[in-house]
Structure 1
Amino acid sequence: MISVKEVTDKKTLKEFAYFIYDIYEGDKNFVPPIRKDYLKYLQGVDNDLNNAGPNTKFICYDGDKVVGRLLVGINEIVNDYHGFKEGYISQFECEDNYEYAKALLDAAVEYLRAHGMNKVKGPVSLPGGEDNRGFIVDNFEDQPYIMNTYNKSYYNDFFVKYGFEKYFDCYAYKDTIENANIERFEKLVPYAMKKFNFRVDNIDFSRLDSDAADIMHVIEKAMPKEWDDFAPLDAEEIRKVVKQLKPYADPELIFIARDNETNEPIGFNITLPDYNQAIKKMKGRLLPFGFIKFLYHKRKIDRIRFFVLFVVPEYQKKGVTSVMYLKTYINAIKKGYTELEGSTIWEYNKDMMNDVESFGAKINITYRIYQMDI
């Protein structure tokens, strides 16, 4: 007998969280999150899950067996900014039985209708996050880079059968470092920096609060209003993002561009080593030997993810992005990285797609986000 229940206590929270380890057991491309950290993540620790608006978690049972789950919520920050009445679905996992998926999606839609919403999108990141966005639709052969999703191929079929339609695709571009086309950038960079009077610095972990404030300043000025799925971050949200990323960050791969005369921040980018290569070896556990395995395999990481880049409008198309691309490339070579992924780039972000493609990268994975009127 199929039933759907809300997560209401520690027992059901653990059932919700640990289902992901069961359904992907033996899958060579799945990277198990660290159990302790994952439980905190699902409870809204160091993200905006609870600050953004109401949410709940549903588990689907067949008898006493857990067979599926999802998280449904409302991002009131984004809704208020854009004037929407939309809900979201995240953390969807399900065994290969459409009736399980339907029961979960029915519960999510009923929840959102009860809260006055008229549309649902998903799967998306938890509010304030840049991770686990969309369902892979085309490449199930590669291990995902850090903070990117992995899913069963039939999830797409379940969503379409239920009535969802494509909202947008997000792309992961991949290239080998040595194949990157940098000659044009090497010629352009000195000219652009001199003509437009700016510099590009590495982030300074000793003054992280100040640099985080500069990043917030850039986002406030650079994020287009027409990006319906985002709202500018406030100081507390930036603090949470920085706290999430810092354990994985390499300051030599994070840059902030500044105007030389005013010292005003005009752009930034974040590139992260692909810690999934080391986390996978831990099999979701720190103890008894997980952390030792992490430290050993951390030294063997050879992939990086170009994560995010923003430039304020008045400095766009003036070489700022080219300087950050080139500096990332130079430091990646120096540190022994051999592969790079630029992700996830929304299909409407044509400028970023053009920039990445001009560097020689090609689309390797497509992540699809769906929508449905309710």
Structure 2
Amino acid sequence: MDIGDEVIIKNVETKSDLKQFVDLQFRLYKGDPGWVPPLRSDQLKYVAGAGNYLNQAGPSTKLLALKNGEVVGRLLVGINEELNHDKGLKAGYLSLFESIDDEMVSTKLLDFAEEWLKGKGMDHMKGPFSLPGGDDNRGFLLDNFKDPTMIMNTYNKSYYPRMFENYGFEKYHDVFAYISDSKNENIKRYEKLVPYAMEKNHFTVDKIRLKEIQLEMKDVKEIIDKAMPKEWLDFIPPNDEEIQLIAKQLVPYADPDLIYIARNLKGEPIGFNIALPDYNEVLSKMNGSLFPLGIFKFLYYRRRIKGLRFFVLFVVPEYRNKGVSSAIYYHIFRSAVEKGYTHVEGSTIWDYNEPMKLDIEKYGGKIYKTYRIYTKKINK
């Protein structure tokens, strides 16, 4: 092999390295209509740990793969120590994988990640995952590379799953994106059922108060603490710092007509959701930059967003099967139609989350994208 064809792996250590880490995706996906360029400035902060829990969760390292002096691949590998401790695991996570279509590149990156995790006592690795504290970059898209990618969701090259499988990864779980539109006839049957359920089971559904976001997020944390199933191995309830981080991220982009908190008649929080307008519709017009004209495009197109993404919905155990989730869905759908939104994506729903899948399907949602998360035992 010519030495020029050798793949070299290096850690991201300098600002220049970090810029190359971010810039790779802009080169890889140039001209790809399925990919929405993020703001470069936001991505630089994101991969450095701003807006997520990367630097607090445990050790991590960012890798670059170089061939003939050019960056041709990247990967972030890390350990979420709090999650591992809570679940009794020795797992490492992989995130932000990108590569040219060359398995020498992917193999070198994954070899480095595996050795790094082995050196820290881990016995398996999983991914791709969101960075700790995030809800994006989860899994590799397996199908439907045609429909636009919604806000904070994954798009990747179609050969990425093959690269992981050829390396020895196996399916861990699939996660789904559901789609529904404003012409959904199923919603009409809830116009009478939802008020009846709310009266019978003594609860209300109210829009989130962004001006009182600190108080609202305390209620959100209380709901998550009670509602998140302990058997979910890849999730633990957010701590106080993470809740404040979510609040900080939420306020600039939230539409209060799309986020609701349900409470019983004592005022105790029993359920909530998060849904956001699909800002990817705006980002797709900006080519990764606010300047020189991006800010004007942002202000113009944000008022014309037609889609929204439904991220999460939690209901405390004692109020499940009492119409709380249906009431939240109904209020969101009604507001969305009134405000001119034409379609809703519910994602990403794990394959084992049967209650959530059934709720969405009752409302006429259909799976239109599938993402796969992989796992691999670490060779000793």
76, 90, 113: which is aligned to 2:118?
113
Residue 111 of structure 1 deviates from its aligned partner by 0.7
Is 1:265 aligned with 2:261? Answer: no
Q: What one-letter code is carried by the residue in structure 1 that aligns with 2:297?
A: K
Is 1:302 aligned with 2:306? Answer: yes
Q: What is the aligned-residue RMSD (CA, Å)? A: 0.8
Is 1:243 aligned with 2:251? Answer: no
Residue 63 of structure 1 deviates from its aligned partner by 1.9
Q: What one-letter code is carried by the residue in structure 2 that aligns with 1:275?
A: Y
1:242 & 1:280 partners in 2: Cα distance? 25
Q: Paired residue for 1:26?
A: 31
1:34 & 1:273 partners in 2: Cα distance? 17
8 Å CA contact retained: 1:3, 1:63: no
2:51 & 2:309 partners in 1: Cα distance? 21
Q: What one-letter code is carried by the residue in structure 1 that aligns with 2:21?
A: F
Residue 180 of structure 1 deviates from its aligned partner by 4.4
1:28 & 1:46 partners in 2: Cα distance? 27
Over residues 5-60 of structure 1, what are the superposed CA-to-partner deviations in whole Å (9 max), with x where a residue is unaligned? Answer: 00011111111111111110111111111111111100111210010000000100
Over residues 101-136 of structure 1, what are the superposed CA-to-partner deviations in whole Å (9 max), with x where a residue is unaligned? Answer: 000000110110011000100000000101111000
2:250 & 2:62 partners in 1: Cα distance? 25
8 Å CA contact retained: 1:180, 1:361: no
Residue 79 of structure 1 deviates from its aligned partner by 0.5
Is 1:353 aligned with 2:357? Answer: yes
Residue 183 of structure 1 deviates from its aligned partner by 2.7
SS at structure 2 position matched to 1:46: coil
221, 228, 237: which is aligned to 2:226?
221
1:20 & 1:210 partners in 2: Cα distance? 38
128, 143, 148: which is aligned to 1:143?
148
SS at structure 1 position matched to 2:71: strand
TM-score normalised per structure 2 = 0.97
2:48 & 2:177 partners in 1: Cα distance? 28
316, 319, 325: which is aligned to 2:323?
319
1:106 & 1:245 partners in 2: Cα distance? 37
Size of the aligned set, in residue pairs, is 373
Q: Paired residue for 2:3?
A: none
Q: Paired residue for 1:328?
A: 332
Q: Paired residue for 1:96?
A: 101
Q: What one-letter code is carried by the residue in structure 1 that aligns with 2:35?
A: F
Q: Paired residue for 2:135?
A: 130
Stretches of structure 2 lacking an aligned partner (at least 5 in a row): 1-5
1:342 & 1:247 partners in 2: Cα distance? 21
1:94 & 1:29 partners in 2: Cα distance? 17
SS at structure 1 position matched to 2:337: helix
Stretches of structure 1 lacking an aligned partner (at least 5 in a row): none
2:7 & 2:347 partners in 1: Cα distance? 37
8 Å CA contact retained: 1:54, 1:73: yes
1:323 & 1:179 partners in 2: Cα distance? 16
Instruction: Map 1:41-52; keep pairs closer than 5 Å.
Output: 41-52=46-57
Q: Paired residue for 1:82?
A: 87
Moved more, 53-62 or 174-183: 174-183
SS at structure 2 position matched to 1:286: coil
8 Å CA contact retained: 2:214, 2:247: no
SS at structure 2 position matched to 1:299: helix
Moved more, 146-155 or 234-243: 234-243
344, 367, 370: which is aligned to 1:366?
370
Residue 208 of structure 1 deviates from its aligned partner by 0.5
SS at structure 1 position matched to 2:149: coil
Q: Paired residue for 1:280?
A: 284
1:143 & 1:132 partners in 2: Cα distance? 15
Is 1:210 aligned with 2:215? Answer: yes
Residue 217 of structure 1 deviates from its aligned partner by 0.3
TM-score normalised per structure 1 = 0.99
SS at structure 1 position matched to 2:24: helix
2:166 & 2:151 partners in 1: Cα distance? 30
8 Å CA contact retained: 1:189, 1:322: yes
253, 261, 264: which is aligned to 1:256?
261
Q: Paired residue for 1:162?
A: 167
1:334 & 1:175 partners in 2: Cα distance? 16
